Amino acid sequence: MRMGKCVGISLLVALMAALTCVHAGAEEGTQAVTLQDVVVTATRTATPERAVGVSHTVITEEEIQARRAADVPELLRDVAGITLVRYGSQGAQSVVFPRGGENNYTMVMIDGVQVNLGGGDFYWETLSLDNIERIEIIRGPQSALYGSDAIGGVIQIFTKSGYGPPSVELSTAHGARSENGSYLGEQHLRVSGGNERMGFSVAYGRIDDQGALDINNDYWNNSLSARFDLYPKDNWEVTLTGRLNDSRYEYPTESVGDKYSPLDPDQYEREMDTVVGLSTRVQTTSWWENVLSVGYHRNDRKIEDPYNPETDYSSWRGEYDESRTNFDYHANLKASPVDWASSTVTLGYEHERETYEQESTDFTTTTLGADRTNDAFYAQEQLSLFKRVHLVGGARVEDNSAFGTEVSPRGSIAVDIHETGTKLRAAVGKGIKEPTFYENFADDAWTLGNKDLDPEKAVSWEVGVDQRLWSDRLTMSVTYFQSRYKDLIAYVPTPYPAPAVRTPNYFNVQEAESRGVELSLTVKPMENLVLGSSYTFLDTEVTDDGGLANIAFEEGKELIRRPRHSASGWIDWQWRRLRTFVKGRYVGKRDDADYRDWTAPKRVELKDYFVLDATMSYKVPVPAPLKDMELFVKGSNILDEDYEEVFGYTAPGASFMAGLSFRL
């Protein structure tokens, strides 16, 4: 629908123009620092936002509620510097490209526990928003604090804590897709409470989606999340968190998507993801804080593809089990020898063990089992001068059983000009990403892993300015960044005729670069109205293809599926009991790969597109014991835009849901 896209783009441009012209009404007084004014992930300490020198975004509970998103990927689409791509409808594989980096370049953490697979992959599509309080996105290499897989950034999810008298929250929503009337459903339940010595928050969620395709496209996801906080003493806190995701996604697509190949009626993927974290924080003295944490993550995934003569050469079955156990201790040492200077030194040690098991069956059965360990020491100095110049420097030394020893440094500066509401900032750092288990240890009829692989590396720098005006009713942020990626791991085919002794198929032979500009703008012209926008310009280039002539990684060309231009704009308006949230998202043209003819694959250009979503809710007056009740409706892609995020894969059309939520 080209007309729909033109109308949508016009709306988005008008919104962004309005944001630059709108004026604030009443003045706001100075507020004390709250959780929303603090960033934790950037330094591992609660740091005032004005002192953070790296580019970051915080998605608050209020923003999550306004959008009524089903999962985390839906929120990440609006973040500057993030490109999120989904291979079809809800439940399909979803990947994140941070600042043009690869889709396994973002470390993902839930309450301090890393949940990536070995080598950086993460299944975003199964991460629902149940019991999530806030999300922090830190852009650029963060390996100095977090090690391997934080090569392009860190996204950390924080679970809600319980407080106050026990309460129950319940939400139910039902709807349909426009393509075929397929059912959509979301059910959520949360129980929470707490006092000065303890708190608890337990939530369950269920998502059902019968899919945008007519054949074998159902998806369901069960999510159970819990958090327990204990405060034995005023200077001592203990937190136990856990999250369990159980999902099943039916997908009929083969190697070239659903548009250009027959659809498989039986193929599906089942996944169980488990996260458990235990941490304790003790303020031993006024200047010495101890933080100890233990984390466990396990991902069990099964793919079943029974034989169908129309689509398969044989039946296929694969089971993949990965786990990570993590132990971390760090001390925060604070000092303020003079009034105009303060320091926080962080010293830490981390031990990590990863395991991997794989079994696949087609004509034969292939198994693979391996494990890796990693020991790391890290140090960081945060120095603040005159309460306006904030310096951060640090480094991490990794000793990995697979790739050996690596050192990752970083540094940043933030200059806070109180009088004008301006913050100038700059950062530079190195990031690393370990190989996947398959790249290291594969040993089957087609592929031999390479145990001598180095980690992939990135060196990145950025400069930016943040501006607050009209008593913080208007906030703006502009960032320029450059990243260079080297030692990228590529599959190198076995030469023909094959040598007498097998040689590995993976080597560090490729390089790439990315550079760009990130803009974000938020305006609150009146107490009940918030307008926001973000824009990303991204320029990527393959600088060395390793001599492999791969169209998906072609020297001198852009990296595929990364648009040069992308933007979002939104309006959040409340009038009495009615709340309306409207969001538009534009994604520009970008290259992709067409593998319909495997003997002669080619590059194709995907068209730009615009998607418009809207949510409306109404608070219903209720008697006790009910505390709140809301009726809401939600529309996704309401202009029914026809587009592709990945070549050959159908993106979902319009869908609508209606629901009810209340609190006891």
Residue 470: strand, helix, or coil: coil
348: amino acid identity, one letter: G
> What is the tally of structural domains in the chain?
1
Residue pair 434/453 in contact by the 8 Å Cβ criterion = no
Contact status, residue 349 vs residue 377, Cβ threshold 8 Å: yes
Domain of 384, in residue numbers: 2-27+40-663
Per-residue pLDDT, averaged over 241-250, amounts to 98
Judge whether 32 lies within some domain. no
pLDDT of residue 312: 85
| Nearest 10 degrees: Cα torsion 56, 135, 652, 584 | -50
In angstroms, the CA 657 to CA 326 distance is 41
pLDDT digits (tens, 9 = 90+) for 401-410: 999 999 999 9
Amino acid occupying residue 1: M
Residue 252 lies in a domain: yes
> Percent of the chain having pLDDT more than 90?
89
| 532, β-bridge pairs | 522, 570
Spatial contact of 566 and 586, defined as CB atoms under 8 Å apart: yes
Instruction: Encode pLDDT of 436-450 as tens digits.
Output: 999 999 998 889 999
Q: What share of the chain in percent tops pLDDT 70? A: 95
Local confidence band at 593 (pLDDT 50, 70, 90 cut-offs): very high
The answer to whether position 619 is within a domain reads yes
Exposure string (b/e) for 360-371, b if CB count within 10 Å is 16 or more? beeeeebebebe
Q: What is the band of 500 on the pLDDT scale with cuts at 50, 70, 90? A: confident
Question: Residue 21: is its pLDDT beyond 60?
Answer: no
In this structure, the strands spanning 106-110 and 153-159 are parallel
Alpha carbons 7 and 504: distance in angstroms, whole number: 53
Q: Is the pLDDT of residue 18 over 50?
A: no
Which residue would you say has higher pLDDT here, 371 or 180? 371
Q: What is the pLDDT of residue 33?
A: 36
pLDDT tens by residue, 605-654 = 999 999 999 999 999 999 888 889 999 999 999 999 999 999 999 999 99
Tell me the pLDDT tens digit for each residue of 476-498: 999 999 999 999 999 999 988 88
How confident is the model at residue 26, as a pLDDT?
Answer: 32
Please write down the HEC assignment for all residues of 110-128.
ECCEECCCCCCCCCHHHCE
Number of neighbours of residue 252 by Cβ within 10 angstroms: 23
pLDDT of residue 85: 97
Q: Is 63 part of any domain?
A: yes
d(CA 589, CA 151) in angstroms, rounded, equals: 26
Residue 106 lies in a domain: yes
pLDDT number for residue 364: 86
The domain that contains 292 carries what CATH number? 2.40.170.20
Element holding 74 (H helix, E strand): helix 72-76
Quote the pLDDT of residue 598: 86
- The pLDDT confidence band at residue 521, using thresholds 50, 70 and 90, is very high
Query: Residues 306-318, buried b or exposed e (16+ Cβ, 10 A)?
Result: eeeeebbeeebeb
Predicted confidence at residue 626, as pLDDT, reads 87
pLDDT value of position 255 = 78
pLDDT in tens, 367-404: 999 999 999 999 999 999 999 999 999 999 999 999 99
Asked if residue 24 has pLDDT above 70, the reply is no
Q: Does residue 21 form part of some domain?
A: yes
Question: With contact defined as beta carbons under 8 Å apart, do 368 and 356 qualify?
Answer: yes
Looking at residue 6, its pLDDT comes to 45
Residue 600 lies in a domain: yes
What CA–CA distance (Å, rounded) separates 655 from 636? 5
pLDDT of 29 over the 60 cut: no
Rounded distance between C-alpha atoms, residue 98 and residue 462, angstroms: 14
pLDDT band (50, 70, 90) for residue 37: confident
The overall average pLDDT reported for the chain is 93
Q: Do the Cβ atoms of 644 and 651 come closer than 8 Å?
A: yes
Nearest to 355 by CA among 404, 412, 402, 302: 402
- Paired tokens of 400: 């990995």
Distance of alpha carbon 397 from alpha carbon 528, whole angstroms: 49
Q: How far apart are the first and last CA of the chain?
A: 44
pLDDT tens, 182-199? 999 999 999 999 999 999
Q: Which residue has the tokens 């990945």?
A: 646
Q: Is 176 a member of any domain?
A: yes
* Band of residue 97 on the pLDDT scale cut at 50, 70, 90: very high
